[in-house]
């Protein structure tokens, strides 16, 4: 891929990822988190499915993979991110959620046989010092920090699964159906955990459409394309831009103030991600087996 196109697409998708956090925070005024995210992905997935209707649909054996990705990527990541914002700011949620690249290294080593250099493991250590600063080195640990970190784990798992399963799919088709699956899961969670509602007015409808079109259809399509077209670890390195954009947009749109420990933690996380992924030599390959070993 042309490097200028690659950089442009990375900037586009990370800006939209960062923008989604304060928009979601505003949206919580009009709907509970699981219902808001569920409606977002049902609308986005349905629209994108219509757009790609002429493209090859997943084969019978691929539907469950799209559903699993929907569980991790749409329901897991954004469900946790939005729910965490009951306790923490949208800027803090974006920083913690985007520790994903560090977790890709850890999970890739444990479950896919990937081998990484000492410098990359130093980056993991530095990054997790940043995580500790962000939600562990200050008084009053919030439930939202742990929920947001769970979202980062879901994000890392989905990144590895997309790299493993993605080549067999049309990535835009996959983006559509995994969003639909994630949306259904989130709506069911909304029914189970409380009374779903949505206050309809011009502001709430605008927020929902922005989340569905800009921060879902465009963002997911571009992100899946980048993961399939290149090394997922290198591409994930640019996620350090997401909390930067998230904090900036949260400041502009919500007048959120970032505490000193969150800023320090975010800086350590960014440095850790840089050390993990940004190498002048050829990056370490993530070796993902074609098939997982059978249990039993």
Inter-residue contact 158 to 76 (CB < 8 Å): yes
Higher pLDDT, 52 or 3: 52
Work out the end-to-end distance of the chain between its first and last CA atoms, rounded to an integer number of angstroms.
43
Q: Please report the pLDDT score of residue 199 as a whole number.
A: 95
Q: Which residue has the higher pLDDT, 19 or 3?
A: 19
The confidence score (pLDDT) of residue 130 equals 78
Instruction: Give how far Cα 274 sits from Cα of 101, 122, 196, 269, 283, Å.
Output: 10, 10, 41, 9, 12
Q: Which has the closest alpha carbon to 118: 281, 263, 269, 251?
A: 281
Selection from 210, 265, 222, 270 nearest residue 19 by Cα: 210
Predicted pLDDT of residue 231: 65
Residue 258: pLDDT over 90: no
- 23 has pLDDT over 90: yes
pLDDT higher than threshold 50 for residue 291: no
State the number of CA atoms in the 13 A half-sphere of 47 facing the CB.
15
Average pLDDT of every residue of the chain: 82
3 has pLDDT over 70:
yes
Question: What are phi and psi for residue 81, nearest 5 degrees?
Answer: -60, -45
Give yes or no for residue 136 having a pLDDT over 60. Answer: no
Phi, psi dihedrals of residue 258, rounded to the nearest 5°: -95, 125
Mean pLDDT of 196-220: 93
């Amino acid at each position: 891929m042309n490097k200028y196109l690659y950089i442009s697409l990375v900037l586009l998708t990370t800006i939209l990822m960062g923008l989604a956090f304060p928009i979601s925070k505003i949206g919580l005024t009009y709907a509970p988190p699981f219902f808001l995210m569920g409606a977002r992905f049902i609308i986005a997935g349905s629209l994108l499915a219509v757009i790609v209707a002429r493209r090859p649909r997943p084969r019978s054996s691929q539907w469950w993979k799209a559903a699993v990705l929907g569980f991790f990527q749409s329901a897991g990541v954004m469900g946790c991110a939005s729910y965490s914002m009951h306790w923490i700011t949208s800027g803090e949620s974006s920083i913690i959620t985007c520790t994903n690249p560090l977790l890709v290294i850890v999970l890739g080593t444990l479950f896919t046989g990937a081998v990484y250099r000492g410098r990359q493991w130093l980056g993991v250590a530095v990054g997790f010092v940043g995580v500790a600063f962000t939600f562990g080195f200050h008084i009053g640990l919030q439930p939202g920090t742990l929920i947001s970190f769970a979202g980062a784990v879901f994000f890392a798992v989905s990144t590895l699964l997309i790299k493993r399963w993605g080549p067999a799919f049309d990535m835009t088709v996959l983006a559509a159906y995994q969003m639909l699956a994630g949306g259904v899961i989130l709506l069911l969670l909304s029914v189970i955990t409380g009374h779903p509602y949505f206050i309809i007015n011009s502001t709430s409808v605008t927020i929902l459409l922005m989340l569905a079109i800009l921060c879902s259809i465009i963002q997911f399509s571009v992100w899946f394309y980048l993961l399939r077209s290149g090394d997922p670890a290198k591409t994930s390195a640019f996620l350090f831009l997401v909390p930067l954009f998230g904090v900036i947009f949260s400041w502009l749109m919500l007048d959120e103030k970032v505490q000193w420990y969150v800023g320090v933690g975010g800086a350590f996380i960014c440095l850790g991600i840089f050390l993990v992924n940004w190498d002048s030599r050829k990056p370490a390959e993530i070796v993902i087996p074609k098939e997982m070993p059978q249990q039993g």
